[in-house]
Structure 1
Amino acid sequence: AVAVVGAGPAGLLAAHDLRRRGYAVTVFEKDAAIGGCLTGKIPAWRLPRAVALRDLSVIAALGIAVRTGVEVGRDVALSELRRQFAAVLLLPGFAGAGRLLAMLDEERPPARGRLLAADPVTCETGLPGVFAGGDAVSGPATVISSLALGRRAAASAHRFLSGTDLRADALPAVPRPLLWRLDIDEAERKRRERTPVMLQPFAPPLDEEEAVEEAKRCLDCSCGLCVKDCEFLTSYCRSPKELARQVKAGVKDALKMVYSCNICSLCAEVCPVDLDTGAMLLAARQQAVREGVGPLPAHKPIVSYYRAGVGSTFTLAMAEPGRQHSKRLFFTGCALPAVSPRNTLAVYDELRRNFPGTGVLMFCCGAPAELIGLEGEFERTCRAIREHAERLGAEELITACPDCTHTLKTGLPELKITTVWEALARRWSPPALRAGARVAIHDSCKAHHEPATHDGVRALVASAGAVIEDVEYAREKARCCGNGGMIYPVDPKLAQRVIQRRAGESPLPMITYCAGCRSALASGGKESIHILDFLLNEGDLHTVARRKPTGSIARYANRLRTKWAFRRLQPPAAR
């Protein structure tokens, strides 16, 4: 563990660098907030407070402990810090140098002023393991100079803690420019000439739109939070900046990388500035298709499955039996009918009971086409869904799949999209078959921004008598199951690592509310169970959770069985 005294530019950069190297860092600051001169002395018109605070938020995001209102030398002794921490960095700024001198056993202040004495190359003081830098050593200087000394002190502390030579690979100290006294002969006096007036500025200022475009060219991406949470980024880069460069250079030479992202948007959820790497790579996939190099040959089964899901053999659009029109439709999607016709019919039965007049739209939402870059096919799918809804008089689609929910909200914003789980959470009372069962819930990555779905699923699971133990990456920060983004045929080893990482978050059986997620987790050997099997299947929980995923041929057959079962349904009065 390392202690950093001072939360100005030098101290914060030193803490940032040491934390990035894996050290536990605690910052001590005598003021009530961090930032030093960045927020306390530099005027807001020069450095806007919102900009400074946004950048300072990285400190908390990196897990650096900050103790404000603590002055070293008054509230805590330097000797105490040396006992508690393996290294101490004194970076308090010019104003804080005086009090620290006495603790370093200085008999008198240096001749050049009350500054801390430190080696200009290694930042060592007279005490082992204690380093100093910033304005407390150099005197008042620029912010850049303070940052440079903070980084130099952090590098020396790292070498000290690693047991290596402090001067190994250390940059030499650059002396201040020498001030020369020059004897200059007095020049002949000349009359001042009027400066010509320029009719136009040499370089006109940027307007607002140009300034925004110019700012977008800068991608200062180095905190590493998204890389830490993503198997894809860990495998392919050190920061999204590298991916952006590869994509800009041309997608043709980076196709495997472009098609290996789950498009789960967890990176945007953890990024301090909301950078969505998945959105960038989705655009790259669309570009690959336009250039004729995408999708990949490995995507052929996905394309076939998708086209079957929008073809006449496996699709169905009907009002509730006995009616000509329905204001709402149960949008089944592809996955649920493919793995369980019984559960699909059971959900529709509950919807008819609680929302009379609900019809059925058995159709693919278009997510497979969208995720592999087939923009034209995705737009045609959205158009077909819109036409079916208009023909049946529907204004609302009720979905059972989070991928469908996300895709339909994106492609058909004019329709109301509701999930089965939020619609039935307060109306459906399934039998309490799981009293006392302890389970974890796998939230779908496509449901990051669906809090009503999160709450509805948990309410239904609790109504069955189960005890829920949430995993760390839940709700809006849920991790992908591994099959998102259609990556499995492109990089199966990466997909398995994603599956195992998600499965390892809990030893308990995982409940999913996405049939595709359940298949992915089960393929990795994880005990997992779809919420409808959890609520309706009377079998032993662990036996049901260990069931293997449904095979490809069986999935096609089940979709036909579901369609035929819907067609055989009777009007409510005839049941």
Structure 2
Amino acid sequence: MKSGYWNINLKGVENCLQNEQAFCTAVCPFHLDVTGFMDKMQRGGFNVAFRAYHNAVGFPSIVSRLCDEPCKKVCIRKEKDSAVSMKLLEKAAMDYATRTAPNSYNMPLKNKRVAIIGAGISGLACALRLCEKKYDVTVYEKSRRIGGHLWDLLPPDLFLDDIERQFIHETYTLLHREIASIDELQPAFDAIYVATGKGGDDFGLIRDKNGAFATRRPGVFMGGSLTGCDSCKALADGLKVVHAMERYIKVGTMNAPEQPRGTRLRMDRDQIITAPPVVPANGTFYTRDEALKEAKRCMKCSCDACVRYCDLMGHSNKYPQNIADDVEATINPGTLAGDGTIATRFISTCNHCGLCKTVCPQNIDVGEFLLQSHAAMTQKGAMPWAYHDFWLQDMAFANGDQAQLTRIPDKYNGSEYMFFPGCQLGASDVRYVIESYSKILAEKPDTALMLNCCGAPAQWAGEVKLHKNVIDNIRSQWFSLGKPGAIFACPTCKQMFKQYLPEIEGVFLYDFLLEWNCSVAGVGAGKTVSVFDPCASRQEPQLQQCIRQLVAKSGFTMEPLAMEGALAQCCSWGGHISIANPNYTHEMIKSRVNQNDHPYITYCVNCRDIFASSGKPVFHILDILFSLHHSHRPPPTYTARRHNRVQLKQKMLMNFWGKTFKVGQKVNEEGKKNEDEKGFYLKISSRVKKKLNSKMILEMDMEAVIKHCEDSGKKIFDPKTGHFTGHLKINNMTFWAEYLPRENGFELINGYGHRMTIVEI
């Protein structure tokens, strides 16, 4: 990494299939944008759909009769039910469009002359495109009629009417005479197209493979049935050769590239939802409603799995290349000030759940790219600290003296395993950890305990050095325990260890609980639930099956969610995105809880608490196995989570080692009362508590503000309300408290925080 330049690359983005053609478009002789056509048809836009079709094929009535529908042979829908009937839909576009007349282009005439040999369908198609571009066109036809082999295929009135209609605004010169040699026309013309039809005179020309439709004779091109193609391809040749001819006229080269054939597009056939084909009631053509219904069967094939599955990419409608460009402009802006804000919030809104890579056929890992980008932005000091400051402080608390604990059971010098529950399990409810550890000790009495945060908040915040310090500290504590294996309760913790502490082998608590037959038989009898897999379990199929076995042994009936297992979606906790993009976070949570009406059972406490906060009936698997809670237990506030961690350390030491642990602040069993040894008491109503929690303001911060105001005398008095107001900067945030003195302490009336620093003069 160079000083002043952050070289962050999205690996594999050059292989992104976003712009690959749909299968049908790839085989269409005219390369009709079928996806765009279908989009218009699905909206009932017959006029614009017809215009798209007309622009692609030149002679719509002729093509609609000649086309043998190669698109139907490659339509992936035929693998599920039946291919989309493109031909009938094209006819519907022509039947129901109200504006079918060719457009008139008011363009100046060009002083370039082009000759076309042959007035068959390929020659006429070439003439049409050249005339629309206002070239001086002369068509030579040795017979007395135009249309070539169309006379053998279609009713004359059909194709002659279509030809006349398309040339209604255009003029060309038609000469009925045979050309014996190309020399007759050169150098009178700037370019020549030879389209003499099947078995026609090729004038001894040899195709040049280095250019589209090119011959080895400068300025002379050939195509159509003369080269052995069918009728539709011949017509398409006439339309497409114009590009090569113009290139020659303008720059004098014959090496115009061939239009790419085929497609690298890949689609997951398993995701196709059955939709029976629409058969015309009259047996011949679609009514308007039938056309709309059949058009909606089209999946508009494109490589958009990342946008369909990933919340962030779908919400922003950004594909990998768009993201790479925006991030590059943000990390390495081209402004004189050297600042960029295009994708700052976007980078901080990624959950790093890994779903994008899982669904991408090219394995493009946008999440990992954004994680590296976040670190680069943090390193250059350009990432707003407020996005992650709360979580970093929370991690510091979890790893601090009041909550951190590493210990081996008495009478043992070493341990085969250490229980690593993670920082959030006990924060939600201390009994999750106490009951789990009790069960582990009953089976494996030498198991050590490590209460610690795995460092995920630092990784998500892009704080590389801080994250390394956390990892190094865990490694050091692990050494002190004798290098035991780890028992994990949190999938995210195991994920972090696997990536940054691979030397520590780990298993899941739930595997042991299944082995030890830990279940409550019949508790779920007659109840249907859905298992919500945490995103961190995506690569843990054994864990996913273990949880389902535990749920089944407890008597529940399970209904699968649409997105589970390898397609597990993030609950919104990953990346700690709620501060960077709260509205997006709320929409994500809403999407998760509305997947069905059944209660969820999950094995990530963050998933449990987030869904519970939205009113979704949800259990943690430990609620079931240890009979701890009903599904409507509200999640603890952020303040209560801090108290719970302190209580957890106290209770673990007392219950398992007979030790007491005193902290500066006493808390009761519910973790609700704020009372220290000096008798400070702060009353907070439930309404104010709810507001503080929604703003991620800790009650202890409000207490610190009030203490500071009272001790320093720096406070403002409002005589109308009798309220005092004051502020205090704690770490990076400035907090304000509006409060009232009470007989036994104080009452908090309101509180808020912001990033400004108050400068006193």
When normalised by structure 1's length, the TM-score is 0.66
Q: Aligned pair 1:426/2:438, yes or no?
A: no
Q: How far 1:18 sits from its partner (Å)?
A: 5.2
Alpha-carbon distance in structure 1 between the residues aligned to 2:649 and 2:228:
75
Aligned to 1:241: 321
2:377 to 273, 288, 291: 288
Structure 2 distance, partners of 1:534, 1:11, is 61
Task: Output one character per residue of 1:295-351: Cα deviation in whole Å (capped at 9) or x when no partner.
Answer: 532322111101112222211111133312112111011110101111211111222
> Is the CA contact 1:28–1:67 (under 8 Å) kept in the aligned structure 2?
no
Distance 1:69 1:9, change over 3 A: farther
Task: Give the partner amino acid of 2:369.
Answer: M
**Deviation, structure 1 residue 281:** 0.8
For the structure 1 residues 365 and 6, does the alpha-carbon distance in structure 2 shift closer, same or farther, using more than 3 Å as the test? closer
Q: Which residue of 2 aligns with 1:546?
A: 632
- Distance change (3 Å), C-alpha of 1:406 and 1:31: same
Shift of residue 418 of structure 1? 1.4
The one-letter code of the counterpart of 1:352 is L
Query: In 2, are the aligned partners of 1:4 and 1:28 still within 8 Å (CA)?
Result: no
Which residue does 2:552 correspond to in 1?
462
Distance in 2 (CA, whole Å) between partners of 1:66 and 1:120 is 35
DSSP-derived class of the 1:285 partner: helix
In 2, the alpha carbon distance for the partners of 1:122 and 1:379 equals: 73
Cα displacement (A) at 1:400: 0.6
Give 1:407's aligned residue.
496
Distance 1:448 1:408, change over 3 A: same
Residue 174 (1) aligns with residue 264 (2): no
CA shift in 2, pair 1:288/1:538, >3 Å: closer
Secondary structure at the counterpart of residue 595 of structure 2: coil
Q: Say yes or no: does 1:512 pair with 2:621.
A: no
How many pairs align?
437
- Do the aligned residues in 1 keep the contact of 2:25 with 2:33 (CA within 8 Å)? no
Secondary structure at the counterpart of residue 261 of structure 1: coil
Q: Which residue of 2 aligns with 1:269?
A: 358
Q: Percent identity at matched positions?
A: 27
User: Residues 528-558 of structure 1: CA distance to partner in whole angstroms, max 9, x if unpaired?
Assistant: 221111332366xxxx222221111211111
Give the AA of the match of 1:239: Y
Q: Residue 436 of structure 1: CA displacement?
A: 2.2
Matched, 1:8 2:27: yes
Task: Output aligned runs, 1:175-214, within 5 Å.
Answer: 177=245
Q: How does 1:90-239 map to 2 (within 5 A)?
A: 110-111=148-149, 174=242, 177=245, 223-239=303-319
Following superposition, the deviation at residue 377 of structure 1 comes to 1.0
| Partner Cα separation in structure 2 for residue 239 and residue 305 of structure 1 | 34
Q: Are 1:560 and 2:560 counterparts?
A: no
- Structure 1, gaps ≥5 residues long: 35-58, 89-96, 98-107, 124-134, 151-170, 181-221
C-alpha deviation, 1:19, in angstroms: 6.4
C-alpha contact (below 8 Å) 1:317/1:361 kept by paired residues = yes
Distance 2:525 2:598 in 1: 15
| Contact 2:408 2:448 (C-alpha < 8 Å) held by counterparts | yes
- Residue identity opposite 2:635 in structure 1: P
Q: 1:315 to 1:176 in 2, by over 3 A?
A: closer
Separation (CA, whole Å) in 2 of partners of 1:494 and 1:473: 19
Preserved CA contact (<8 Å) 2:387 2:577: no
C-alpha separation in 1, matches of 2:38 and 2:451:
52
Q: Give the TM-score, by structure 2 length.
A: 0.51
Indicate the residue corresponding to 1:82 in structure 2.
88
Matched residue, 2:392: 303
1:492 aligns with 2:511: no
Counterpart contact for 2:376–2:462, Cα < 8 Å: yes
Give distance in 2, aligned partners of 1:141 and 1:269: 45
Q: What is the alpha-carbon distance in structure 2 between the residues aligned to residue 69 and residue 340 of structure 1?
A: 51
Distance change in 2, residues 1:5/1:32 (3 Å)? closer
Asked if structure 2 preserves the Cα contact closer than 8 Å seen for 1:7 and 1:29, the reply is no
Contact 1:335–1:515 at 8 Å: present in 2 too?
Answer: yes
Partners of 2:23 and 2:546 lie apart in 1 by 46
Residue 263 of structure 1 aligns to which amino acid in structure 2? H
Counterpart of 1:219? none
* Counterparts of 1:115 and 1:405, CA distance in 2: 69
- In structure 1, what is the Cα distance between the partners aligned to 2:164 and 2:444? 75
Shift of 1:261: 1.3
Root-mean-square deviation (Å): 4.4
Q: For residues 566 and 120 of structure 1, what CA distance do their matches in structure 2 show?
A: 89
* Residue identity opposite 2:245 in structure 1: P
Alignment correspondent of 1:351: 440
- 2:344, 2:23 → 1: CA distance? 44
Q: Which residue of 2 aligns with 1:65?
A: 77
Match in the other structure for 1:210: none
- Which residue identity does 1:565 align to in structure 2? K
Secondary structure at the aligned position of 1:227 is classed as helix
Tell me the amino acid that sits aligned with residue 340 of structure 1: D
Q: Stretches of 4+ moved more than 4 A in 1?
A: 3-7, 9-24, 27-34, 67-70, 83-88, 112-123, 137-142
Tell me the residue number matched to 2:99. Answer: none
State the alpha-carbon separation in 2 of the partners of residues 68 and 560 from structure 1: 57
Name the SS for the 1:440 alignment partner.
strand
Task: Tell me if the contact between 2:358 and 2:567 (Cα under 8 Å) persists in the aligned partners.
Answer: yes
User: Structure 2: which amino acid aligns with 1:430?
Assistant: S
Aligned partners of 1:283, 1:373: CA distance in 2, in Å? Answer: 7
Structure 2 CA distance, aligned partners of 1:272 and 1:440?
28
Aligned to 1:387: 476
Letter in 1 for 2:601: I
Q: What do the CA deviations read for 1:265-305 (whole angstroms, capped 9, x no partner)?
A: 21111112111211111111100111012353232211110
Mapped contact 2:28–2:71 kept (Cα < 8 A): no
Higher Cα Rg, which structure: 2
Is contact 1:285-1:295 (8 Å) kept?
Answer: no
The amino acid that maps onto 1:514 is: C
Which of 425, 428, 446 is equivalent to 2:536?
446
5+ unaligned residues in a row in structure 2: which ranges?
A: 1-21, 44-66, 95-120, 122-145, 167-212, 214-222, 249-301, 332-339, 659-761
Q: Which residue of the other structure, out of 335, 349, 354, is the alignment partner of 2:424? A: 335
Provide the C-alpha distance between the structure 2 equivalents of 1:490 and 1:506, rounded to a whole number of angstroms: 28
